[in-house]
Amino acid sequence: MSGDVANKTNDGFLRRNLIGKATIWLPYIWLLLFFLAPFIIVFKISFSEIVVAMPPYRPIFDIGDGITQLWQSFRKFSFENYIFLTEDSLYWKAYLSSLKIALFSTALTLLIGYPLAYGIAKSPRNIRFILLMLVVLPFWTSFLIRVYAWIGILKKEGLFNQLLLSIGAIDTPLTLLNTNIAVYIGIVYSYLPFMVLPLYAALEKQDETLLEAAEDLGCTRLKAFWTITFPLSYPGIIAGCFLVFIPAVGEFVIPYLLGGADTLMIGKLLWTEFFANRDWPVSSAVAVILLLILVLPIMYFQQSQARAQEAAK
């Protein structure tokens, strides 16, 4: 009888334990299925050879192959596609150009987003929500349509030029569309909410009395901002910059629609390799390298963060 009871509670405990484990593992399973598995496929393709076929590459091995076959394919295993990337200057130029464009546009987004987030965080509580809604509102329209709309604004006879002409600021319309400037505008515009939201979260929870304490100890308002508010918002700045920088590096739609022929970005290149040249192995290699460029610094950063936290204890 008592054994029964013990068993029952034991069962309950086990079940709860299982559910607990499952909730922890769920995100991992998700990542495994939708991130790691596709990545492994891409990774595998990047080592294969291009052929005119369906799909357009020769697999390096098949799961159905025997052990000897597998061994054979491993011996044929080559970094040819990666070596190709280093031989053609187009690729590393595209990587560098992408990083440069992403870096500049992240800096610009921070420059515009910080005052915006600060203003929202300091505004009266009752209108804060409305202001935040306005920041998020553009997401309710398709990204593609919003970028298309910028063509209408930036083109020679577009809204922006008409405005400048009508107020007499310029005599001849400016060439903005299909330049890097248009790409910057597009990226800053599209990713601004990703910068504003984490910054707002970091600024909003800051204790006002810290600023009073700084003033009390001899700081002007401006100095108090730079010594207290700004350093305390680092987590928001870092999160916002990552959220803008990472997708901006691989951005395809914005340089494709707003950029010119000389706008060199890795996303555009990837598209060309994949769909125009149908060179899946090389484009896979391009994607793998891109991932490494992005993931390695982040991992390094996270490790140094963790070490700093450990050291503080």
In the complex, least distance from residue 216 CB atom to another protein, rounded to whole angstroms = 5
Residue keyed to tokens 């398709």: 142
**Please, what sign has the CA dihedral across residues 163, 165, 169, 175?**
positive
Q: What values do phi and psi take at 49, rounded to 5?
A: -110, 145
| Segment interacting with another protein, rule: CB under 8 A, options 41-49, 146-154, 220-228, 263-271 | 220-228
Nearer to another protein, 64 or 218 (CB): 218
- Beta pairing partners, 58: 49
> d(Cα 137, Cα 171) in Å, to the nearest integer?
35
Does residue 223 belong to the site contacting another protein (CB under 8 A)?
yes
- Beta pairing partners, 57: 50
In the complex, least distance from residue 297 CB atom to another protein, rounded to whole angstroms = 23
Does residue 181 belong to the site contacting another protein (CB under 8 A)?
no
Does residue 312 belong to the site contacting another protein (CB under 8 A)?
yes
Does residue 232 belong to the site contacting another protein (CB under 8 A)?
yes
Considering only residues 190 through 219, tell me which ones interact with another protein, judged by CB under 8 A.
207, 209-210, 212-219
Residue 260: both structure tokens together:
């010119």
Residue 298: both structure tokens together:
């982040």
Residue selected from 69, 78, 162, 220 as contacting another protein according to rule CB under 8 A? 220
In the complex, least distance from residue 114 CB atom to another protein, rounded to whole angstroms = 17
Does residue 231 belong to the site contacting another protein (CB under 8 A)?
yes
> d(Cα 265, Cα 84) in Å, to the nearest integer?
18
Q: What values do phi and psi take at 167, rounded to 5?
A: -90, 0
In the complex, least distance from residue 211 CB atom to another protein, rounded to whole angstroms = 9
Beta strands in the chain (DSSP E): 49-50, 57-58
Does residue 125 belong to the site contacting another protein (CB under 8 A)?
no
Which residues contribute to the site for another protein (CB under 8 A)? Answer: 207, 209-210, 212-220, 223, 227-228, 231-232, 312-313
